[in-house]
Amino acid sequence: MSIKINHNSGFFSCCTVRLHKIISFLNLQGILPTKIDSLNQFLWYKKKEDETKDISYDFFEFPQKQFEREISLPIQFSYKHQFVKYKNVAIEQIFPVIKACFYPKKCILILKEKIKIKYNINVKETCVLFFRGNDKRKETRMCYYHEFLDQIKKIKSKNEDKEDLRILVQSDETEFLNYMKAELKNVLVLEDEIRHMSATKETSVDLLATSTTENNYKYAQLFLAIVLIMSECKYVVCTSGNISLWICLFRENAKNVFQYLSDQWYES
């Protein structure tokens, strides 16, 4: 039995809907689908020569049936989980599905390691500040930049090696990156691997006039590798949305995650 998913939008929006459909199938049938057809997904990232190809398998391995025995049903999950408290999401129960259907391709894992080596990232001594802005502001309320500094103070007050804590700053808003570089020490921005723009644009970096499906494809692979790195870091401070949700899903939990949601900060 197979499923077909037609939702198309940003990369991790596509991933969340894909996961929701897989889990809905699992809850109904008790087994993984034999085929997951995402041909009509990830269209923003398809190179011209790949129009008739399901490119989800350029990023993730084909379903790994050996993890099916680890899956415990039923699982509560929907697309709306991007805007809930992540500490309340059944991440440990969902994770076998992530292993089975969203295991990163070897090329993505190689990219991840290359980035870690290039920037000398020790994830055990790194705190991530992740702010997804621009068009996300249309979907949910956003905090002020300076509120991230308050969360950093909380973390440093608990961290025995606070002087060595490196701050990995990730955002699609140029102003956020510049603000954190000015306000914090020991800051790292992956300058060569990301795209960002003014907060006034209220669109996606994938939809800029200068963006093409070819470079979107390249940056999607890089960003998936970056999300994997963020998921490994000791602390995560983030706004709410699909990307932050996937940081926790790849992390296997929401421990040491400081999440901004609906005008409040939540610590897991």
pLDDT band at 200 (very low <50, low <70, confident <90, very high): confident
**pLDDT above 90 for 102:** yes
Query: How confident is the model at residue 163, as a pLDDT?
Result: 62
Domain map (residue ranges) of the chain: 2-105, 107-267
CATH class belonging to 107-267: alpha beta
**pLDDT above 90 for 159:** no
Could you read off the pLDDT of 28-58 as tens digits, one per residue? 999 999 999 999 999 999 999 999 999 999 9
User: Do strands 257-261 and 264-267 pair parallel, antiparallel, or not at all (unpaired)?
Assistant: antiparallel
How far is it, in rounded angstroms, from Cα 5 to Cα 14?
9
Q: What is the pTM of this model?
A: 0.96
Residues paired with 236 in a beta bridge: 128, 257
Query: What is the strand order of the sheet 187-188 is part of?
Result: 187-188, 166-171, 126-131, 235-238, 257-261, 264-267
Could you read off the pLDDT of 166-176 as tens digits, one per residue? 999 999 999 99
